[in-house]
Amino acid sequence: MESPKNKLKLLEIRDLLLRETDDGHAISTQQIIDFLASKNIQSERKSIYHYIQLLEDYGMDIITEKDKQNWYHIANREFQLAELKLLVDAIKFSKFITQSKSVELIEKIKTLTSKHEAQLLQRDDLVTGRLKTRNNSIYLNVDAIHDAILGKYKLKFKYFDYDMSKEVKYRRNGEFYVVIPVFLCWDDEKYYCITYHEQHDDYVVYRVDKMREVNVVYQKHTIDKKPEDIEKYCDQLFNMFSGVEKNITMRFDRDLLNVVIDRFGMDVNIKPMDDQWFEICETVYVSPTFLSWMIQFQDKAKIIEPKDVVDEMKRTLEKTLKNYE
């Protein structure tokens, strides 16, 4: 009668290939036999060939190099190394994910490649100095919010700020908020839950990392409210797209050409003025965010017209200067 462990032979070989091999590392038939023996699974060369063929028939991309004995390695995987590096970097750079959760997720990602390539994913240089949230429940909060949105349920949670002692201080004296979640936004490495307020017929925004005791209220609602253009709504909410929309003429130093293209896109109409300056005319939402964006470039950027926006910029600069007197 076949040993129960022998029934695991195919899975053991599969796991061994995935863990130990890649384009730069192969294992031999004898090494597979020795590995199985360490698991008290008896095997012969002929059966190894058979199981390798089964795995190939199943869809695994196994390269066989024929020599005095065969050598095997996994070629293509579901994720390429560059893709895994991208995922690891995104996790490490995300302020939204706690340090402990980052380590946990990266360790899971490492299992998607060989142990040799997994070492290349240990990029500690990217962690240094990164500010990470301390709220370990955030990813659970996001999961609950998604469930509520998809199921058209309400959501309840407590919402907090920090006081001068950096202690958590709940709003509404710790009472629960009960809301209708509409969708989630991601901006500047933070998650935001956009909710609909029935009484005011408007949207209210909450930072997910400032939500505690988040739970789905399994009470169906019939509200079907959502901005017509979610992307535009988020732009208006978080970026330079809130305020009054106006046509603005701006002058920039040529050193800022790439910055301007990054901000306004490749379709921006650039008008060279001389060897140092160029101008653009763009439709912009005039807001404190936009004015702050211009101010950061100091004497290398200037609003030319309209006059009311120029005057608004002057008032902003005067208030800032007065703060330092």
Is pTM beyond 0.85 here?
A: no
| 131 in any annotated domain | no
| 132 in any annotated domain | no
Q: Which of 43-52, 96-105, 253-262 is predicted with the least confidence, judged by mean pLDDT?
A: 96-105
| 133 in any annotated domain | no
pLDDT at 134: 66
Structural domain boundaries enclosing 12: 4-74
Tokens of 60: 């695994």
pLDDT digits (tens, 9 = 90+) for 259-313: 999 888 888 999 999 999 999 999 888 988 899 999 999 999 999 999 999 999 9
pLDDT at 135: 66
- pLDDT above 50: residue 6: yes
pLDDT at 304: 98
Domain containing 285 — which CATH number? 3.30.70
pLDDT at 127: 47
Long-range contacts of 172-179 (CB under 8 A, 24+ apart): 176/213, 177/206, 178/154, 178/217, 179/154, 179/155, 179/204, 179/206
Question: Which pLDDT band holds residue 128 (cuts at 50, 70, 90)?
Answer: very low
Q: Which of 232, 250, 280 is the last residue of a domain?
A: 232
Question: Which pLDDT band holds residue 136 (cuts at 50, 70, 90)?
Answer: low
- Per-residue pLDDT, averaged over 214-224, amounts to 90
User: Which position has the higher pLDDT, 144 or 122?
Assistant: 144
Question: Which pLDDT band holds residue 202 (cuts at 50, 70, 90)?
Answer: confident
Same structural domain, 95 and 164: no
| 170 in any annotated domain | yes
| 314 in any annotated domain | yes
| Average pLDDT for the chain | 88
The answer to whether the bond into 306 is cis (omega within 30° of 0) is yes
Same structural domain, 147 and 218: yes
pLDDT digits (tens, 9 = 90+) for 142-197: 889 999 999 999 999 999 998 888 899 999 999 999 999 998 888 777 888 999 88
Q: Which of 180, 201, 232 is the last residue of a domain?
A: 232
Same structural domain, 112 and 164: no
Q: Which of 173, 207, 232 is the last residue of a domain?
A: 232
Question: Which pLDDT band holds residue 240 (cuts at 50, 70, 90)?
Answer: low
pLDDT at 126: 47
- Per-residue pLDDT, averaged over 9-38, amounts to 96
Domain containing 210 — which CATH number? 2.30.30
- Per-residue pLDDT, averaged over 192-216, amounts to 89
User: Which position has the higher pLDDT, 238 or 70?
Assistant: 70
Q: Which of 81-95, 161-175, 308-322 is predicted with the least confidence, judged by mean pLDDT?
A: 81-95
- Count: domains in the chain: 4
- Per-residue pLDDT, averaged over 52-75, amounts to 95
- Per-residue pLDDT, averaged over 7-29, amounts to 95
- pLDDT above 60: residue 125: no
| 53 in any annotated domain | yes
